[in-house]
Structures are given as structure tokens and as C-alpha cells.
Structure 1
């Protein structure tokens, strides 16, 4: 487990032009990240570092591992959340992550962070200290399970005297982490509504909205309250550490566990990215100025790997 200050990203194209993409948490809303990536690809912007919280971390590691946007979208769309998750046998969460881990094992195997084609920093929360934890070395799949473990819903991960859980409760859109890792400019994607006035919808909103999963009134109210707190925290953090480009897909209508609505999320992400296309073009020109690295080298993994993962789900 790496200490945040122990490692920075050394750009291969020279100092002063390291561009990071920060992807926030949001569960089933995460399809929006794919639409943003699709737009970034179409513009031809090379990304030097990816920083992800929760579903943003899942998308980041799969993309950096070599899966295409379409392959990741197909995986989400074909995956029923009820097939992936079951009751946690240890009682540390309402639902377990055993089947989800099997899917990630099939897709990523024993891959380490060092083997990714784009450096990735995965952000989790330590429930013991209350602090964020940044993982950027060693095997990927195990810490990923902690990084998506919403407290009380999914079981946290015990690791290195820490109890790792979803970082949405401490830093849902970690722009500051990207800066501290050496990013000169940052593109950030917020799925939780901190870009606009926060609103509660019938299906749940905010990065921690679990209304579709937890119909009981007390739990629904508790999770809506938590969603508001996280959105307000994110609003404050983004004001204190603003990215160079902030992308805010309109995805509050998509439930936390509605991964099958990936196409809607992807469309919303693409639309939001297109809305700031001028800013993206400018940052793309800045990034590629004086550099021969004009395209992102990311050959997709074998299609058989995707098929195997879907079969195992």
C-alpha cells in the first residue's frame, strides 16, 4: 500500500505537461465516464494519469488495462447487479461482493498497477483513521474490492491494519490527489450533482443514493441524507481544489445500482463532455504541444476475456 507522498507520476514526454483524468464515484451512473472517455478519444487527448473513486476506479483500471470503451460498456450492460451480488456471509455488509470479484478476476487476473498502460491511482477510505488511502502499486483486484465497498452495504476490506471502503465518504472527486501525484492539469468528472443544485429524485440521487436497493423508509432517508452530505462535501472540495475542466453529466435519474442503464449514462457523459468541448480542445493542444505522443496507446484485450467475464457473472 503506497503512501501518497511516496510516489509521483513521471511523464514520459517531459515535465510540465502531465494531464490527469479524475473520475468520481456514482455506481450505476458510471456509464457516464465511458461517454467522457469516448469524447476524449475522439478529440485525441493523451491521458498521463487516471485517478478514480468507486465506479470511477473500476472504469479507470479496466480502461488502463486495455479494455475499450465498448468492451467496458458491454460488460456493464450485460451484467445484472442481482447476479453479481449476494448476501454477505460474514454480515459485514448487506450484500457481498464475491461474484463481482470473480468478474474482476476474470477480466484483470493477477495484473498489477505497474502493468497498466496508463498509471492509475485508486482512492479508498480507511474506516479506522477516517482518512483517504491512495493505492497505486501491487495487485489490482483486491484493493478494488475495498474501494467500491459502500459502508454498511458492501463488506469493507481488511488490509495492512486498515479497513478500506468506498472513498465517496471522504473524497468523491479527488482532484487534489491528482495534483499531489504530479498532474499539471486535471480533467474531472463528477457524477454526484456537486456541479449544480442538489436535488433528491424518486429513484435516488447523489453518489451514495441507494433508494432502488433499500426500500425501507428509515434506510432510504439515511442514505438520502448521506448522499446530500457527500454532494456538499464534494462541492466544497471542488471549490478548494478546482480542476482545469469540470464535466458534470446529468445522471441523477439513474439509480446507484442500475448498471444496465449504461447506454443512458454513456450518452449523458458524451453530451456533458461535448458541452465543454472548447475547453477540452484547449487542454488537448496544451498537452500535445512539443510532444510526439499524440495518441493514447491502449490496444484492447482479447474479446475472449470479456466473454469469459460475462459468463462468470
Structure 2
């Protein structure tokens, strides 16, 4: 079938025009700060950016900003993020104890024992406390859910290029993570010292990046940003009337250091950049169950900056073209060709394979895989279980 040459020419001109406009527009870097549960407000900002048709060419995040940024980098929509956050069982995620229905019968018989409780180990006849108060199995599973199983050797290869910021606990240096196991990198960026264990990355031992660079505006510019949209969800300083407990004083001490670097980063913003600071009142970094309020605060703050944001908005056609480009960078789903078990000493790899809901020659069913991994974890034989796609 032949098309009239005039029609073909018109289509070609439209494609060329869209491509030219995309090439001419400034590149937008989205920089998301840390702030614990307050970082859920980032999702509200993303919803407004989507509605306003503002494209994001790269994303840099610290701590909770790295979690939302990592999910965005895989192409997850803000609506899907919102759904996952609102339906998350935060007590289960942070409690790190298996659900009773996942625990095998021989463990249920020992209900008076808690195989997942706080314990002290001994070294040279001295008690040694664990390096963390919170387990990481279920929170890592949650991060894998947020990334949809999408992996990339280099984070520049993700649908939206991405960087996560952490801190080396040995020397206090900033660690900008640009490759590796994405969910593990996300967890490293938010591994609050004493709460979560440090995460090895290259030659570093990484903890929460908020203590060294809670808002990586400079990293956003390096990565892609002609323009930076920065979102600050950090906690405000506390006045002396509220500094009545040791915890409050410790939190304030950390916050002073965080704010000092953040203000230096914010000072580099130009009139072309956009700074969004959601107002969250008394909501704290631990109020994960207040997710609806955080998201609403993010939306409200972004809408207040809408006039500035609209300078970088695209037409309907150009925005759809950008969305299609992001979608096209997602890896195509492939069939599982091989399952390999590593790191086990006492349990047979063949037994573990038989317990996994993975079939070679078929696509990965992430929800089923997670359920089977949770059942293996509930046996109490392993401190940590992770998987990676190659």
C-alpha cells in the first residue's frame, strides 16, 4: 500500500519538529533531599510535574530522596509510587519479623522463643551489640518492588539517569553511587547509622548520605542539569523549648550539620532553577503512616511553584514523546535461563531452588518470587536473602 507523498512529508516534518524542540530545550535535573518519612512528599511533587508536563532528564537523591528518585529512574509513575506507599505495612517492613502464615510449623512450635529478636553476640568473652536496630530483609524487598526488577549495570542506562548519595562511615566522605544493585544502593543512601547496617559499595562502607550532602544540587548539574528543580524535605531546626530529651538534642546536633551543607547547596541555585520546600509542620521523619499528608504537602508546595515550573513545560506532543523515550529505555522482559544460589553453607542450594517460585524458560513473576523468598527467610536459617537479575 502506498501513501501519498504529501502525507509522508507532513509526518516527517512533525517528527523532525518534535525532535528539534526536544534538542533545544534545557535539560532538567531533579534533586531530591533526604528527610525520612517527610521524603514521601517527593511523590506529591512528581504528580504535579507530571500534570504540568515538565520532563525530568536525570534525578539525584539522598536518603529518602534516593528511594523516590530510584523508583522514578526505573520509569515508575508517581501514581504507582503513591499506591505502594499508601498500602505498605510499615510496621512489618521496619519490624523485620515474618508474618505468622510464612513461618514453618517447626518454628511455630517454639513461639516462646523469638528468632528475630534483639540479641547480643560474644567476642573474646565480651558482649558485642549488633550494628543495627532494624533488620533489612523486608525493606530491601520493598525497594525491589519499587524498582520493578529493573536492573542496569550503570545508572546512566536506566530509563532516567540516576545518582544516589551516601556517606563513607570510615572517613565521612561523600559517596556518589552511579552503578550496582539498584535496591541495595537505595538502601545504602538511607542507612541511618545505628538503625540500619552500613552497605559495602566499592571500597566504601556506606551509610545515610544526609550527614554529608542532603541535597546534591552540584551532582544534579554534573549529571545533566542546565536547570535544577530541587526539593527540600529536611526537618527544620528545633527551638530550645523542645530540646528537653537526649534524643531531641542528638537529632538537633545532626540537623545543624545537615542544614549547614544544605544552605551552601541552595546558595548555588540560579534564577532559572526552582526550589520547592513542602510545609509539613510537626510531621516527623518517622511518621511513615502519615503518607497521605506528606503527599498532599508535596503537591501543595509544587503547585505554589507552578509558574516557575511552567517555564520548562512541554506541549502535549513533546511530553508524550519524552514519556515514550523513557518507556523505550526500559529493558524488555526476558525469560529466566538459569537460577544460581550463592552464599549458603548449611542448607542445600537444590533445596532452596525447589522452594523458589522461579521457573526457567518463563518470565520472572516478582510478586511470587518475593513471597517464596519471605517463606525461606521465615525459616530462620538466614540473616539476609537477596536476589539480582543478570
Q: Same fold (TM over 0.5)?
A: yes
Judged with a 3 Å threshold, the aligned counterparts in structure 2 of structure 1 residues 199 and 252 are, in CA distance, closer, same or farther, namely: farther
The alignment status of 1:117 with 2:180, answered yes or no, reads: no
* Pairing partner for 1:56 from 52, 55, 65: 65
The alignment status of 1:296 with 2:335, answered yes or no, reads: no
Q: CA deviation at 1:138?
A: 2.9
Q: 2:35–2:234: 8 Å Cα contact kept in structure 1?
A: yes
Normalised by the length of structure 1, the TM-score is 0.78
Judged with a 3 Å threshold, the aligned counterparts in structure 2 of structure 1 residues 307 and 173 are, in CA distance, closer, same or farther, namely: farther
Q: How do 1:236-275 residues align onto structure 2 when only pairs under 5 Å count?
A: 236-241=264-269, 244-275=273-304
The alignment status of 1:84 with 2:93, answered yes or no, reads: yes
Structure 1: any 5+ residue segments left out of the alignment? Answer: 1-11, 205-210
* Pairing partner for 1:141 from 176, 179, 183: 183
Q: CA deviation at 1:220?
A: 3.2
Q: 1:53–1:172: 8 Å Cα contact kept in structure 2?
A: yes
Q: How do 1:281-292 residues align onto structure 2 when only pairs under 5 Å count?
A: 281-284=310-313
Q: Secondary structure at the match of 1:274?
A: helix
Judged with a 3 Å threshold, the aligned counterparts in structure 2 of structure 1 residues 252 and 133 are, in CA distance, closer, same or farther, namely: farther
Q: 1:193–1:248: 8 Å Cα contact kept in structure 2?
A: no
Q: Secondary structure at the match of 1:296?
A: helix
Aligned partners of 1:106, 1:282: CA distance in 2, in Å? 34
- Tell me what 1:225 maps to: 253
Larger Rg belongs to? 2
Aligned partners of 2:239, 2:202: CA distance in 1, in Å? 37
Aligned partners of 1:263, 1:309: CA distance in 2, in Å? 26
Q: Secondary structure at the match of 1:154?
A: coil
- Larger mean CA deviation between 109-118 and 125-134 belongs to 109-118
Aligned partners of 2:371, 2:76: CA distance in 1, in Å? 14
Q: 1:88–1:154: 8 Å Cα contact kept in structure 2?
A: no
Q: What is the alpha-carbon root mean square deviation over aligned residues?
A: 3.5
Aligned partners of 1:170, 1:230: CA distance in 2, in Å? 7
The alignment status of 1:99 with 2:127, answered yes or no, reads: no
State the aligned residue count: 284
Aligned partners of 2:192, 2:43: CA distance in 1, in Å? 22
Q: Does 1 or 2 have the higher relative contact order (CA < 8 Å, sep 6+)?
A: 1
Deviations 1:54-111 (A, max 9, x none): 1111111112223221221222222233211246777112222221012223443362
* Pairing partner for 2:206 from 164, 175, 178: 164
Aligned partners of 2:264, 2:235: CA distance in 1, in Å? 12
Q: Secondary structure at the match of 1:186?
A: strand
Q: CA deviation at 1:231?
A: 2.3
Deviations 1:98-131 (A, max 9, x none): 2101222344336223552111111111122312
